[in-house]
Structure 1
Amino acid sequence: MKLGLHYWTYSTPADPAAIAPTLAETAVTAEQAGVASFTVMDHYFQMDALAPAEEPMLEAYATLGYVAAKTERMTLGVLVTGVMYRHPGLLAKIVTTLDVLSGGRARLGIGASWYEREQRGLGVPVVPMAERFERLEETLRIFRQMWSDDDGPFDGRHYQLAETLNSPQPLSRPHPPIMIGGGGEKKTLLLVARYADACNLFGTSPAEVAHKLDVLRRHCTAEDRDYDSIEKTVIVSRPALADVDGFLAEVAEYAALGVTEVQVTPDRHPVEFTRRIADEVLPKLATIG
């Protein structure tokens, strides 16, 4: 079982001047401990369901560029990129840039953007959910084309690209892994079956994840896709340090379902959290799966 660290808040410590050194120390500590992936959110306001929207938030891909310069091995990605926030042709260039400059460590995490407060606040178009999913599918098709030898036009319902030139190509082969986040059963998991190398599900409970994976399996059958070729990942809701044995028992249940990576989120100073994860969780996690 691999472990990912999901860095979701920049509020600790409170001094904005401490954001960069804290981020760097957390990432380096995580990598040295054996954490497999480092992810950040794609938000511009903090999610007001978790904390006040006014709390500090950084742009995701600039943040990952900084982390890439401080690390050498961890996979780097956004959990997950909101499809409405960047034109897909430019997003393909952004992810390619991260992959090239990190030495082939980028992973594209993407989903249908949802946080309307920040969209309306910053002037991002807010479109109906059905259109968001249409745009998501076209974006996935554009990525596949731009990460191939085909640099011709793309003519979709929402996006028209006269040429899909992407030079240099990513260092990852055949391309950075595509991870679709979310558990929507009719659309999201169908897109996973059609386009993704990995899925990311909310770890509300092993029973719920089992249900979502059953839905994904049915979509794979309908799409003639090898279910086992898709990596299954889970962002775990249960605090990792509050009850380490309980957390590990839950992770073992996810492993039995075929999950190969779980992500955890700091619930205290991120450096302290990461050090404790290294000492208390990672050695035992290595025996699971």
Structure 2
Amino acid sequence: MRVGIQVPSFSYPGGPEQIAPTFARIAQDADQGGLDSFWVMDHFFQIMGVGAAEEPMLEGYAALAYAAALTERITLGTMVTGTVYRHPGILIKTVTTIDVLSGGRAWLGIGAAWNEEEARGLGIPFPPLAERFERLEEALLIARRMWAGDESPFEGVHHRLERPLNSPPALRRPHPPILIGGGGEQKTLRFVAEYADACNLFDAPELPHKLDVLREHCERAGRDYADVEKTVLSMAPAGLSAEQAVETCGRLAEQGVDHVIFSCGPDAPGAVGTLAEAAPQIAKIVPAGR
């Protein structure tokens, strides 16, 4: 089993001038401590459940680029980019740039977007949900085309690219893994089966059902369910212990989860050390079905 950390909050003691050194320490400790993945949210305002909108929030890809320069082996991604926040061609170029500069360690984490408050606040068009899913599917098609080196024109309903050139190409082969976040049963999980390398779901009672739905979509798409990496976001409690982390990963492995990502709020500077302590034991856990 793999283990990662998501950093959702930058409200560190000492104010804004302490964000860079604290964030740097978390990224480096996660990298040197043997964690597999490092994630930030792709939000512009802080989200409900973590803090007030006015709390500090870093732009996701600039933060990942900073982390890439400070780390050597850990993989890097957003959990997850709202598809309407960036033109797909620019998004793939951005992820490719991080992949090249990090030595092949980038993920594309993407979803349909949900935070209308931040979109309206910053003047980002926020179409109805049905259109957001149409745009998501086109973004996934564009990603696959650009990472395959196909420069032929793309003509979608919402996006038109005359020459989707992507140079330099990504280092990760066959491409940076595509992770789709969300548990929508009709479209999100179908898109995972059809286009993605990984899903991301919440550590919640409905998880087994969501995985069953994904399995059904894979069967309909002619996709081997085992080929999809099942990642789960688990909210780490304050004072998370190594034993708790191992127990959480073991419980989720029994449900077939391959990769547990602990979301650690302002407690992240301490939590990353705990996860590093637990990482050798977590690595020995074999997910069900593997």
TM-score past 0.5 threshold: yes
Q: Equivalent residue of 1:288, what SS?
A: coil
Distance 1:136 1:100, change over 3 A: same
**Where does residue 237 of structure 2 map in the other structure?**
239
1:192-242 Cα distance to aligned partner (Å, 9 max, x none) = 00000011111113xx21111100010011111111111111001352744
Q: Distance in 2 between matches of 1:238 and 1:204?
A: 13
Tell me if 1:96 matches 2:96: yes
Q: Distance in 2 between matches of 1:257 and 1:116?
A: 33
Tell me if 1:265 matches 2:251: no
**Aligned pairs for 1:160-171 within 5 A:** 160-171=160-171
* Aligned residue pair count: 286
Tell me if 1:216 matches 2:217: no
Q: Distance in 1 between matches of 2:96 and 2:153?
A: 19
Q: Equivalent residue of 1:106, what SS?
A: coil
Distance 1:268 1:92, change over 3 A: closer
**Where does residue 137 of structure 1 map in the other structure?**
137
Q: Distance in 2 between matches of 1:96 and 1:138?
A: 18
Q: Equivalent residue of 1:12, what SS?
A: coil
Decide whether the 8 Å contact of 1:152 with 1:164 is kept in 2: yes
1:78-128 Cα distance to aligned partner (Å, 9 max, x none) = 000110100001101000000000000001000011101100000011111
Q: Equivalent residue of 1:259, what SS?
A: coil
Q: Distance in 2 between matches of 1:71 and 1:64?
A: 10
Decide whether the 8 Å contact of 2:11 with 2:266 is kept in 1: no
Tell me if 1:288 matches 2:282: no
Q: Distance in 2 between matches of 1:171 and 1:250?
A: 33
**Aligned pairs for 1:67-78 within 5 A:** 67-78=67-78
Please list every run of 5 or more consecutive structure 2 residues that lacks an aligned counterpart in the other structure: none
**Where does residue 126 of structure 2 map in the other structure?**
126
Alignment RMSD:
1.5
1:26-63 Cα distance to aligned partner (Å, 9 max, x none) = 11111111110000000000003321100000100010
Distance 1:148 1:261, change over 3 A: same
**Aligned pairs for 1:1-289 within 5 A:** 1-205=1-205, 208-237=206-235, 239=237, 241-242=239-240, 245-279=243-277, 281-289=278-286
Q: Which letter does structure 2 place at the counterpart of 1:32?
A: Q
Q: Distance in 1 between matches of 2:61 and 2:254?
A: 33
**Identical positions, percent:** 53
Q: Equivalent residue of 1:168, what SS?
A: coil
Q: Distance in 2 between matches of 1:172 and 1:107?
A: 9
Decide whether the 8 Å contact of 1:240 with 1:247 is kept in 2: no
Q: Distance in 2 between matches of 1:104 and 1:244?
A: 29
TM norm structure 2: 0.95
Q: Equivalent residue of 1:42, what SS?
A: coil
Give, in angstroms, the shift of residue 288 of structure 1.
Answer: 1.8
Give, in angstroms, the shift of residue 269 of structure 1.
Answer: 3.6
Q: Equivalent residue of 1:176, what SS?
A: coil
Q: Equivalent residue of 1:235, what SS?
A: strand
Give, in angstroms, the shift of residue 257 of structure 1.
Answer: 2.4
Q: Which runs of 4+ in 1 moved over 6 A?
A: none
Give, in angstroms, the shift of residue 167 of structure 1.
Answer: 0.7
Range with greater deviation from structure 2 (249-258 or 28-37): 249-258
Q: Distance in 2 between matches of 1:121 and 1:152?
A: 36
Distance 1:241 1:277, change over 3 A: farther
Please list every run of 5 or more consecutive structure 1 residues that lacks an aligned counterpart in the other structure: none
Decide whether the 8 Å contact of 1:182 with 1:188 is kept in 2: yes
